[in-house]
Chains A and B, each alone.
Chain A
Amino acid sequence: MIKHDVVIVGAGLAGLRAAIEARERGVDVAVLSKLHPVRSHSDQAQGGINASLGEDDSWEKHAFDTIKGSDYLADQDAVEVMCKDAPRAIIELEHWGVLFSRSENGRIAQRPFGGAGFPRTCFSADKTGHVLQTTIFEQAQKKGVQIYEEWFATSLVVEDNVCRGLTAIEIVTGEVHAVQAKAVILAAGGAGQIYSKTTNSLSTTGDGIAMAYNAGVPIEDMEFVQFHPTALYGSNILVSEGARGEGGYLVNAQNKRFMKKYAPDKMELAPRDIVSRAIETEIREGRGFANEYVHLDLRHLGEAKINERLPTIRELAIYFAGVDPAKEPIPIQPAQHYTMGGVPTDIDGAAPIKGLYAAGECACVSVHGANRLGGNSLLDTVVFGKRAGAKAAEYVKTASETGFPEMVIRDEQRRIDTLLNRKDSVKASEIKRALGTTMFDKVGIFRQQGDLERAKKNVAALKRQFENVSVIDSSRRFNTSLIETLEVGFELDLAEIIVACALARKESRGAHYRTDHPRRDDAKWLKHSLAIRTVKGPKLSYKPVTITRFQPEERGY
């Protein structure tokens, strides 16, 4: 059996930052990832990472923007921690080798971003995630962090409310392993693939959140799903908020900058929930192109600026949409982008089960509340990744050696064998396609009772179909069909939670917009949703929002 003090699931920014921290504190740490670390979804972040580095800026202003952006659902103690630590975190990354774009005086440059009262987004052209992920992986290697790459975690092992480790498939051989650990840190990312239209990579399937849910952790705020306003029409490939930060316009089929109507002050740089709804409204009311998309116009920025600041956007648009942004406007439409909810943690990454921690998109601290601001997710990963790594390391130093229930591995092996040998013809890929469409159409940017109820039925039906799912490919070696099947299982669990929480929350807040309850209702709903697994499906409860210095106000931009 494999044994480590701390095992981290996921090798993106949060996971590797946690690993570096735990390693520095002298504990035996290993990272397990279904992809090689450089393939992680963190790599795809484009626009940037926020910190109040400017002389006239302050962490308080950053915190206020974040909390207002969250529609007051963020826990303010956690936001304070993140915004106070942001400048240190950025400088640390710079010291480690991150190639930030610079201003003329050689300092780290900052660009304006949505919902921010200040240009406080640090960036590396439009490949910030790639540069951060590469650097943090380099430093993890330098520290000698052990990595089990292409290992797929299938379940957490919890006994007496203490986490004992996990089970995982070594993808290359297909072997099922027991991995014993005194502490597990979940840093496995979001769940974007539940939606048919998403900017997320095909691997972003919510594995970490679902594993925690299956282990009995109540999952927080899953109804808050961020839709990014600007995904390339057709392929749903992300077009960074940096494009609007650098001055890009959103234009409808009547050639009007329609954001004037929705956010007269901030225009294109209103928070993402507001811009996505504006675009969707324009399309629904017949002012889109082909009833499907609007235009993001960068032409006035000029070719030189586009090449300097948005080279990837230009390349992606030319390649995937056949449009050169220097010469033509880019066809865009909103697509799922970020999972605000996740495994509930305190400000040190600790989850409600002893020895279990979470960080990054798979966690819900909650710093993003009902709507995350652009540039805050990368920040979340490095700030809370470090904190989770520190806390887990501290915990394992005092935690006693615990047993690992051996029969767990037999059960897991049997479950996987059953999947591999079943001869039914229900395909996971077909379930996934149906799930994605249901979720995007009925649990999307605009929601209402009837649609949500239909979605609930559809998801339940798909869950029943999944009971007879067949992998079809029965080989052990590098069986990607098996992995995809297990992922779809996770997605179904999480979709069920999203629908249940969205049905229950009869108000509109941040990214959760109910056309039948269009107003925010602080009296009844200023609280976090929690969904716990029962045999009858998710059971909901609620917990209060932590408010320290910013009283909820009406949100205008």
Chain B
Amino acid sequence: MKTQEASFRILRFNPEKDEKSHHETYRVKIDSRMTILDALEDIKHAQDAALTFRRSCRSGICGSCAMRINGFAKLACKTRVLDEVERHGEVLVEPMENMPVIRDLVADMNPFWSEIDRGSPWLEWDTNLEGSIKENLITDQQQQVSAKLADCIMCGCCFSDCVSRVFDKNFTGPASLAKVQRFVADSRDKVGVKRVPSLVEMGLWSCTHCYFCWSQCPRDVRPVTAISALRALSFRAGDRSHGARHVDAFMSSIERTGMLNEAMLYLKTMGWTTVRDLDLILKMMVKGKAPSPFLKPIPKIDEIRSIVKEGRWGKK
């Protein structure tokens, strides 16, 4: 197999010795199949025993070795060095984001685990079944949604790269909501959709649909699809929080005019709390920056309306 040298730039931080984190560079001989984890093990054993990272299964299932590789959270054992080198010229390795650092590439995952715990992440099974020797009858079809979400290995990649979490520390994160949906979609769960109302508190509407949780998931769990499904359930269950009203106002505007009525979107979303921003609104009006709340429907609006009718949550 052809070998070549690759340059690894690794963010180091040992609170016992360092005041600040700093990058260190290592050269590693690689072949076409070598993974980032293989290379880190090589560096640790041949060059620098103090280099610290988590790892266990080396086959992409235990979720230990999540870290940022050239700016994106990935599993080191499932990322080939050559792919990174070809794309970026070097391999920049850093600990995951949205979590404090314990040492080098080891992130303190407690924020992640506490968010998972907020969703009561277990099946509330029917305890009347205790001692019964009969399984619940379910088809593969019926458990498809849960089975897909249960592929989650809790590596934290989605949480690390979640842009909403950066700004909203109350946002529970993609993995947490995916886990909730795993139980909501499970016919055996005694709580089921009753799990949904508590999700507004957990930041159900904070997700911006950036899709990083989909693209960064090493198990293709697609947490953002669970978030969308939970939002629809929440909306149908009468959720009138700002997030739900925003969606409703958005759809109403499109339905009515075929365009986005920014003024009405704002007014309908914020409701009476608009008065808090009265000062700003007046200033904008004076400067001619406030959009008009009066829009005329576009031509052929009926076609738009029929599309909205098909896709809209919770309304006929």
- Residues on A close to B: CB < 8 A? 35-36, 38-41, 43-44, 87-88, 90-91, 94-97, 99-102, 104-108, 124-125, 127, 130-131, 134-135, 138-139, 141-142, 172, 201-203, 234-235, 237-238, 312, 315-316, 319-320, 322, 427, 429-430, 471-473, 475-481
In the complex, the answer to whether A134 meets B150 with C-beta atoms within 8 Å is yes
A-B contact pairs, 11 of them (CB 8 A): A40-B62, A44-B59, A44-B62, A99-B146, A101-B140, A125-B147, A127-B61, A134-B150, A320-B33, A477-B102, A480-B53
User: For chain B residues 148-203, which have a beta carbon within 8 Å of chain A?
Assistant: 150-151, 153-154, 183, 186, 188-189
Which residue from A39, A102, A127 sits with its C-beta under 8 Å from B151? Answer: A127
Partner of A97, one of B106, B122, B133: B122
Contact B106 A478 (CB under 8 A): yes
Contact between B103 and A477 (Cβ–Cβ < 8 Å)? yes
Q: Is the CB of B50 within 8 A of A481?
A: yes
- The answer to whether B139 touches A38 (Cβ under 8 A) is no
Q: Tell me, in angstroms, the Cα distance from A237 to B125 when the chains sit together.
A: 35
Q: Are A201 and B140 in contact, CB atoms less than 8 angstroms apart?
A: no
Structural contact, B126 and A35, CB atoms closer than 8 A: no
How many Å from the CB of B175 to the closest CB on chain A?
11
Known: A39-B63, A91-B134, A172-B102. A142 touches B122 (CB 8 A): yes
A481 CB, nearest partner CB in chain B, Å: 5
Question: Which residue of B59, B64, B133 contacts A320 across the interface (Cβ within 8 Å)?
Answer: B59
Determine the residue in chain A with the shortest Cβ distance to B79.
Answer: A319
Q: A44-B62, A473-B49, A475-B14 are in contact. List 14 more A-B contacts (CB 8 A).
A: A35-B62, A36-B113, A41-B62, A96-B125, A99-B186, A106-B138, A107-B137, A127-B61, A202-B58, A312-B61, A427-B45, A429-B44, A476-B16, A477-B15
Q: A99-B143, A106-B139 are in contact. Are A316 and B17 (CB under 8 A)?
A: no
| Closest B residue by C-beta to A108 | B135
Q: In the bound complex, how far is the Cα of B16 from the Cα of A172, in angstroms?
A: 12
Interface: B307 (CB within 8 A): no
Residues of A near B122 (CB, < 8 A) are 97, 138-139, 141-142
A127 to B147, CA, bound (A): 11
What number of residue pairs across chains A and B have CB atoms under 8 A from each other?
Answer: 151
CB neighbours (8 Å) of B278 from chain A are: none
Q: A43-B57, A96-B123 are in contact. Are A322 and B33 (CB under 8 A)?
A: yes
B186 touches A234 (CB 8 A): no
CB-CB < 8 A to A142: which residues of B?
122
Given A38-B154, A201-B58: A88 in contact with B139 (beta carbons within 8 A): no
Residues of A within 8 A of B102 (CB): 172, 477-478
Minimal Cβ-Cβ distance residue in B for A100: B135
Q: Which of B49-77 contact A (CB under 8 A)?
A: 49-50, 52-64
Q: Are A95 and B132 in contact (CB under 8 A)?
A: yes
- Chain A nearest CB from B161 CB (Å) reads 20
Choose from B56, B125, B186, B188 the contact partner of A202 (Cβ within 8 Å): B56
Report if B9 contacts A (CB, 8 A): no
Of B45, B61, B150, the most chain A CB neighbours within 10 A belong to B61
Q: A97-B125, A130-B61 are in contact. Are A104 and B49 (CB under 8 A)?
A: no
Residues of B within 8 A of A322 (CB): 33
**Residue in contact with A427 in the complex, picked from B49, B123, B139, B186, CB distance below 8 Å:** B49
| B209 at the A interface (CB under 8 A) | no
When the two chains form their complex, are residues B138 and A475 in contact, meaning their CB atoms are under 8 A apart?
Answer: no
Q: Which residues of B contact A106 (CB under 8 A)?
A: 137-139
- Are B146 and A91 touching (Cβ within 8 A)? no
Closest B residue by C-beta to A137: B122
Closest to B46 in A: A429
Does B129 touch A at the CB level, under 8 Å?
Answer: yes
What's the least CB distance linking B126 to chain A, in Å? 7
Q: How many angstroms from the CA of A234 to the CA of B143 in the assembled complex?
A: 36
Contact status of A319 and B78, CB under 8 A, knowing A35-B64, A475-B17 = yes
> Which A residues touch B270, using CB under 8 A?
none
Q: Across the interface, do A36 and B61 meet the contact criterion of CB distance under 8 Å? A: no
Nearest A-chain residue to B50, judged by Cβ: A473
Q: How far does the Cβ of B262 sit from chain A's closest Cβ, in whole Å?
A: 44
CB atoms of B55 and A475 under 8 A apart: no
Nearest A-chain residue to B189, judged by Cβ: A97
Contact between A237 and B56, CB atoms less than 8 A apart: no
Does any Cβ of A come within 8 Å of B314's Cβ?
no
Q: Is B297 an interface residue (CB 8 A)?
A: no
Is B121 in contact with chain A by the CB < 8 A criterion?
A: yes
Q: Say whether B139 contacts A102, CB under 8 Å.
A: yes
Q: Of residues B78, B125, B129, which shows the largest number of chain A Cβ atoms within 10 Å of its Cβ?
A: B125
State the CA gap A16–B129 with chains docked (Å): 21
Cβ-defined contact, A203 with B140, below 8 A: no
Complex contact B147–A99 (CB within 8 A): yes
Residue among B63, B123, B134 with max Cβ neighbours from chain A (10 Å): B123
| Residues in chain A near residue B136, CB distance under 8 A | 94-95
**Residue in chain B with minimal CB distance to A203:** B56
Q: How far is the CA of A203 from the CA of B54 in the complex (A)?
A: 10
Q: How far is the CA of A136 from the CA of B256 in the complex (A)?
A: 51
Are B60 and A316 interface neighbours, CB within 8 A?
A: yes
Give the chain B neighbours of A141 by CB distance below 8 A: 117, 121-122
Q: Which residues of A contact B54 (CB under 8 A)?
A: 480
Task: Report A-chain residues with C-beta under 8 Å of the C-beta of B132.
Answer: 91, 95
Is B109 an interface position by the 8 A CB rule?
yes
Partner among B50, B56, B147 whose Cβ is within 8 Å of the Cβ of A201: B56
Does B109 contact A36, Cβ atoms closer than 8 Å?
Answer: yes
Contact call B61/A234, Cβ cutoff below 8 A: no
Nearest chain A CB to B135 CB, angstrom units:
4
- Which of these, A138, A202, A472, contacts B50 with CB under 8 Å? A472
| Closest A residue by C-beta to B45 | A429
Given contacts A97-B125, A99-B150, contact A316 B59 (CB under 8 A): yes
Q: Determine the chain B residues whose CB is within 8 A of the CB of A316 once the complex forms.
A: 59-60
| Contact call B58/A88, Cβ cutoff below 8 A | no
Contacts A130-B153, A472-B49, A473-B50; A138 near B123 (Cβ below 8 A): yes
- What residue in chain B is nearest A134 (Cβ atoms)? B150
Asked whether B125 lies within 8 Å of A88 as measured between CB atoms, the reply is no
Asked if A471 and B49 sit within 8 Å, CB to CB, the answer is yes
Instruction: Name the interface residues of B211-248: CB closer than 8 Å to any CB of A.
Output: none
Q: How distant is the Cα of A141 from the Cα of B113 in the complex, in angstroms?
A: 12
- State the Cβ distance, B187 to closest chain A Cβ, in Å: 11
A130 nearest in chain B by CB position: B61
